[in-house]
Copies of this chain bind each other. A is one copy, B any other.
Amino acid sequence: MKALVYRGPGKKQLEEMPKPTLRDPTDAVVRVIKTTICGTDLHILKGDLPSVAVGRILGHEGIGVVEAAGSGVTRFNQGDRVLISCITACAKCEYCRRGMPSHCEQGGWILGNTIDGTQAEFVRIPFADTSLYPLPEGADEDAMVMLSDILPTGYECGVLNGGVKPGDTVAIIGAGPVGLSALLTTQFFTPARIIVIDLDANRLEVAKQFGATATINSTDGQAVEKVMAMTDGKGVDVAIEAVGIAATFGICQEIVGAGGHIANIGVHGASVTLHLEKLWSQNITITTRLVDAVTTPLLLKTVMAGKLQPKQLITHHFALSDILKAYDTFGNAGRERVLKVILKNE
Residues of B within 8 A of A268 (CB): 276-277, 280
Contacts of A89-115 to chain B: CB distance below 8 A: 91-92, 94-100, 102-103
4 nearest A-B pairs in the assembled complex, by CB-CB distance: A167-B301, A192-B305, A268-B276, A281-B290
Assess the A98–B244 pair: CB atoms within 8 A: no
How many subunits of this chain does the assembly comprise?
Answer: 4
> Which one of A71-79, A141-149, A201-209, A338-346 is at the B interface?
A71-79
A309 CB to nearest B CB, Å? 13
Assess the A284–B283 pair: CB atoms within 8 A: no
Contacts of A116-148 to chain B: CB distance below 8 A: 129-130
Q: Is A332 an interface residue (CB 8 A)?
A: no
Assess the A192–B301 pair: CB atoms within 8 A: yes
A-B contact pairs, 5 of them (CB 8 A): A71-B72, A190-B190, A192-B305, A268-B276, A280-B288
Q: Is A259 an interface residue (CB 8 A)?
A: yes
Give A7 to B35 CA distance when docked, in angstroms: 58
Interface size class of A (residues with CB under 8 A): 35 or more
Given contacts A72-B72, A274-B274, A307 and B190 within 8 Å (CB-CB): yes
Assess the A259–B92 pair: CB atoms within 8 A: no
Assess the B273–A279 pair: CB atoms within 8 A: no
Residues of B within 8 A of A287 (CB): 283-286
Q: Is A312 an interface residue (CB 8 A)?
A: no
Q: Knowing that A71-B72, A264-B276, A274-B274 touch, tell me 9 more A-B residue pairs with CB under 8 angstroms.
A: A100-B283, A167-B300, A167-B301, A167-B305, A189-B190, A272-B274, A281-B289, A285-B286, A285-B287
Assess the B165–A298 pair: CB atoms within 8 A: yes
Which one of B264, B292, B299 contacts A167 once the chains associate, using CB atoms below 8 Å? B299
Q: Is A6 an interface residue (CB 8 A)?
A: no
Q: Is A13 an interface residue (CB 8 A)?
A: no
Assess the A285–B285 pair: CB atoms within 8 A: yes
A261 CB to nearest B CB, Å? 10
| Nearest-CB residue, chain B, relative to A156 | B283
Q: Is A330 an interface residue (CB 8 A)?
A: no
Q: Is A297 an interface residue (CB 8 A)?
A: yes
Residues of B within 8 A of A270 (CB): 276-277
Assess the B258–A276 pair: CB atoms within 8 A: no
Residues of B within 8 A of A290 (CB): 280-283
Assess the A193–B305 pair: CB atoms within 8 A: yes
| Nearest-CB residue, chain B, relative to A75 | B92
Residues of B within 8 A of A94 (CB): 297
Assess the A288–B305 pair: CB atoms within 8 A: no
Residues of B within 8 A of A284 (CB): 287-288
Which of A193, A292, A305 has the most C-beta atoms of chain B within 10 angstroms of its own C-beta?
A: A305
